[in-house]
Structures are given as C-alpha cells and as structure tokens.
C-alpha cells in the first residue's frame, strides 16, 4: 500500500496498488488514514467525499467509486475546528492518569460528551479543564479524547486518550476485543441459568430512533452474564444481581440484550424497567438503570503493560442491593 501524507497541504494521497485495487474509495481512504495514524473514520471520509473533498485528477470522486490500478486519489482534510465546548471546573474521580491516558469513574447522571439538551456539565467539559487541553483530537471537537462511552445514567469506568497515538491504540483494542469491560447490574426476574451468553445483533429501532433494538440486520453483539445473587423482596417479584462482560460494545448493548431476554434492568424505563412494586416503593434510589461499569482491563498504549482498574459500586446501587436483601 503506497501512501503519502503532506501535512502542509492537509491532504492524504491514496495510490491504488494490489492492496487497494477494487476497494471502495471511502474504505481505501479510511484504511490509508488508519495506517498513517490519522484515524479518519470511513463515515468521515464519506462526508468529505459528499462535499467534494475526495478527487482524482482534480475531479470529485464518489465514495462508492472502486479503485483501479494506478488510480491516485486525493483526500483533502478540513481545517481543525475551533473547540466550542467550554472547560468547566467539575470534580472528577480520577482512578489513574499519566501522560497518555486518564481513567475516570464517571458518576451516574453525567453525560459523556455534549449533545442536544446537554451542552454543559459533561465529562468532556470536565476533562478539558482537568487536562488543560491535553487530549486526543481524533474524536473531533465535541469528543476530544473519547474512545468509548457509557450512558448518562450508567456509572463507572471510562478510559480517555490524552494524545492521538494513545487514541489509535485504545481504538484498536476495542476493535479486536482485547480491551475487557465488566459491568454489574440488577435485572427483573430469575435468569434461566446461573451463567450464559446472549448473542443478538443490535441496530437502531425502527419504531423509535432514540432507542436500539435486536435486529437481524443489526451489528453483531454478544454479552456474557453470571448471576451473583437472587432476591425476592417483601414488595414481591424476583430480581437478579448480575456480572456482565461485553464481547462487543454496541450502543445500549447490555440494556437491549437484557430486555430481549425478558429481564430488563431495574430503573431502565426506556427498555422496560421501572414498573415493579419494588421500584415504585423506592423511587429515591432510581435515577435511571441500575448499571455500573465496574472493571476495565487494557494494554497501555506506550508501555505495553496490561493494566486493570476497578471502581466500587455507587451508594445508590449498594442501597438497592441492601433493600433487596432485606
């Protein structure tokens, strides 16, 4: 694969050789960018192609164009956008930090990156203040340093990249599943086995674009679970305390898979929780799904050391377990 990157002109040159001939232009450009450590995603290339930024001999090329031998494509990268997310002095529970990565124990209720209705108070704003601008730029202006995310109402561990090389390494670990993430949750009902595996593809819900759903045409997704305890509280019903390990990392994966099994997480009103007598009796302890990213294992992007991190369950999670036990 022949490549050339001219930083002064902010262009990527993609020369079709045996490794690229026959590939779609968007896929080829994304592959070349990844090799160069730019991590310009395929979707980003598609948007650039749609805007006319991908050319051959000065003529715009469609993203679906398939490369022929000798083709030379030029992808013009946009100028870096000025970050319009303001740093905020928000306390962070820092589990680990060095010059390459920072691991945060995110509280329930904090949004990871700015979005509609959540312009301030985000983890990104807190990181911008804490890290003084030392974050990877690969995630774009709204997601600096963000390699993976957890939902607003999910607590627990998230690893953030402080430079582009670390971002590339962590993204690769997510892609090849060598980064291991383990969660704890409480679901409604009795699980069919003490341990098991849920394998069901996930995609955007056809009925509600804000939700995800099990779909035959979705992206592959697999979740492993182990039952830690089972409860039958005085309010009635059965509940299970679970440990869950992700094989993949789809949006809302655990929540969707558990609802698919007929065992939604307590507190998860989006996917079927929230309606039991226990939840109605103790509303003060529910601010969303009872789900906590409890442990994280990764390979340090600079040293190659395998590192493991743990975060204790938040107070409301422990209170829910205590109430269930009683």
Active centre residues (catalytic): 151
HEC string of the chain equals CEEEEECCCCEEEEECCCCCCCCEHHHHHHHHHHHCCCCCCHHHHHHHHHCCCEEECCEECCCCCECCCCCEEEEECCCCCCCCCCCCCCCCCEEEECCCEEEEEECCCCCCCCECCECCCCHHHHHHHHHCCCCCCCCCCCCCCECCCCCCCCEEEEEEECCHHHHHHHHHHHHCCCCEEEEEEEEECCCCCCEEEEECCEEECCCCCCCEEECCCCECCEEEEEEEEEECCCCCCCEEEEEEEECCCCCCHHHHHHHHCCCCECCCCCCCCCCCHHHHHCHHHCCCCCEEEEEEEEECCCCCCEEEEECCCCHHHHHHHHHHHC
């Amino acid at each position: 694969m022949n490549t050339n990157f001219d930083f002064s002109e902010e262009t990527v040159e993609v020369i079709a050789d045996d490794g690229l001939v026959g590939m779609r232009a968007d896929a080829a450009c994304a592959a070349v960018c990844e090799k160069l450590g730019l991590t310009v995603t395929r979707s980003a290339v598609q948007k650039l192609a749609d805007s006319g930024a991908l050319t051959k001999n000065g003529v715009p090329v469609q993203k679906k164009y398939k490369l022929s031998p000798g083709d030379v494509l030029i992808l013009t990268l946009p100028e870096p956008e000025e970050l319009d997310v303001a740093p905020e002095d928000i306390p962070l529970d820092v589990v680990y930090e060095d010059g390459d990565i920072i691991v945060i124990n995110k509280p329930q209720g904090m949004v990871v990156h700015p979005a509609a209705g959540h312009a301030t108070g985000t983890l990104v704003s807190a990181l911008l203040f804490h890290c003084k601008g030392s974050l990877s730029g690969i995630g774009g202006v709204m997601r600096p340093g963000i390699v993976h995310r957890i939902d607003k109402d999910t607590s627990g561990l998230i690893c953030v990249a402080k430079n582009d090389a670390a971002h590339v390494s962590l993204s690769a670990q997510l892609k090849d599943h060598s980064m291991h993430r383990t969660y704890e949750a409480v679901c409604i009902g009795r699980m069919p086995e003490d341990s098991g595996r849920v394998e069901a593809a996930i995609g955007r819900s056809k009925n509600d674009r804000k939700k995800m759903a099990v779909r035959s045409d979705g992206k592959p997704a697999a979740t492993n679970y182990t039952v830690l305890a089972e409860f039958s509280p005085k309010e009635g019903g059965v509940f299970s305390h679970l440990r869950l390990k992700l094989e993949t990392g789809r949006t809302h994966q655990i929540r969707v898979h558990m609802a698919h099994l007929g065992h939604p997480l307590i507190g998860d009103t989006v996917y079927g929780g929230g309606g039991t007598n226990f939840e109605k009796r103790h509303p003060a302890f529910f601010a969303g799904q009872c789900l906590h990213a409890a442990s994280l294992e990764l390979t340090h992007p600079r040293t190659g050391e395998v590192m493991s991190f743990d975060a204790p369950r938040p107070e409301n999670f422990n209170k829910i377990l205590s109430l269930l036990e009683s």
